Amino acid sequence: MVSATESVGPFTLLRLERGELEPGVPGQFFMLEAPGRVLPRPMSLCQAPHGELAFLIDPIGPGTRALCALRIGEAIHVLGPLGNGFDLDLSRPLLVAGGIGIAPMPYLAAALGDPPAILGFRTEHHAEAAGLLPGAEIVVEPRLVTELLQDDPGDVLACGPEPMLEAVRRRVPRAQLAWEARMACGYGACYGCVVEIDGRYRRLCVDGPVVRDAA
């Protein structure tokens, strides 16, 4: 059941009543029924206020637009938490996010005691979402998040578009990266979400989104 929706720059923060669902580990995700669509959509948990689960959604297509159009009191199927979250046993965490990759960061930051963060955005309008992560450093294109990475940046946890994740990985091979893939089930049943890891197709919904033991 939708308890509130808020605009955050071009994004929508969708707050759902939590019911019996656990919020899970930061970096895990939920499958949200998108009204009128055949498939649900994977969404990272953004915030876990008391009794609620909050998702930050970028309306880029029919599914995300349907989710952003939900009104208070409407109900949708929600399944989760699903997949592998971030490993939180770290000494010097640094959060790095690009665009809607900011979505899992507020919940992650809360779990890690508000570590430093670097956020990159396409436009100033998108950068309004940085308000969800007070104290973060912000860059707007043409500048990129990797420009702010120090030589020894510590334990990087990153989420964002694939080119950004690849760039972060080149700079910080041990970084924990949260990947994306098209999904159907989200719970390991359909083999729709595979990505090639070490030469084999693995299901991102169960072996990710934060992939352990990747090359």
Partner 1 sequence: MQLDAFVTKTVTPQAREGNPPPRVVETESGMLNSIGLQNPGIDAFARESLPRISELGVPIWVSVGGFSAHDYADVCERLDGEASVEVIELNLSCPNVEGAPETAAELVAAARAATTKPLYAKLSPATWDVAESARAVAAAGADGLSLVNTIRGLALDATARRPQLARGAGGYSGPALRPIALACVHACARAVALPIVGMGGVTSGDDVLDFLAAGASAVALGTILFADPFAASRIRAELGDAVLPALALSEHEIHGLVGHSASRRVVSAE
Ligand X SMILES: Cc1cc2nc3c(=O)[nH]c(=O)nc-3n(C[C@H](O)[C@H](O)[C@H](O)COP(=O)(O)O)c2cc1C
Nearer to partner 1, 37 or 171 (CB): 37
| Segment (H or E) for 86 | none
Q: How many residues bind ligand FES (CB under 6 A)?
A: 12
CA 194 centroid distance within chain? 18
Pairing of strands 117-121, 93-98: parallel
Q: How far is the CB of 74 from ligand FAD (least distance, A)?
A: 17
All residues at 6 or more sequence positions from 101 whose CB lies less than 8 Å from its CB, including other chains:
158, 159, 160, 161, 164, 178
**Residue 56 binding result from partner 1, ligand FES, ligand FAD, none, given CB thresholds of 5 to 8 Å by partner type:** ligand FAD
Indicate whether 183 belongs to the interface with ligand FES (CB under 6 A). yes
Q: How far is the CB of 188 from ligand FAD (least distance, A)?
A: 13
Q: How far is the CB of 82 from ligand FES (least distance, A)?
A: 9
Indicate whether 207 belongs to the interface with ligand FAD (CB under 6 A). no
Q: How far is the CB of 191 from ligand FES (least distance, A)?
A: 5
**Residue 61 binding result from ligand FES, ligand X, ligand FAD, none, given CB thresholds of 5 to 8 Å by partner type:** ligand FAD
Nearer to ligand X, 154 or 192 (CB): 192
Indicate whether 41 belongs to the interface with ligand FES (CB under 6 A). no
Contact positions with partner 1 (CB under 8 A) in 69-98: 77, 79
Query: For residue 100, what are its two tokens?
Result: 């809607």
Within 13 Å, how many C-alpha atoms sit on residue 166's CB side? 3
DSSP bridge pairs for 140 = 121
**Residue 29 binding result from ligand X, partner 1, ligand FAD, none, given CB thresholds of 5 to 8 Å by partner type:** ligand FAD
Instruction: Please pick, from the candidates 62, 131, 134, 135, the single residue that binds ligand FAD as defined by CB under 6 A.
Output: 62
Alpha-carbon distance 83 to 121, whole Å?
Answer: 26
Here's the x/- map for partner 1, 167-196, by CB under 8 A: it reads as: --------------xxxxxxxxxxxxxxxx
- Contact status, residue 200 vs residue 191, Cβ threshold 8 Å: no
Q: Considering just the CA atoms, what is the radius of gyration of the chain in Å?
A: 16
What are the distances in angstroms from CA 23 to CA 47, 131, 169? 9, 22, 28
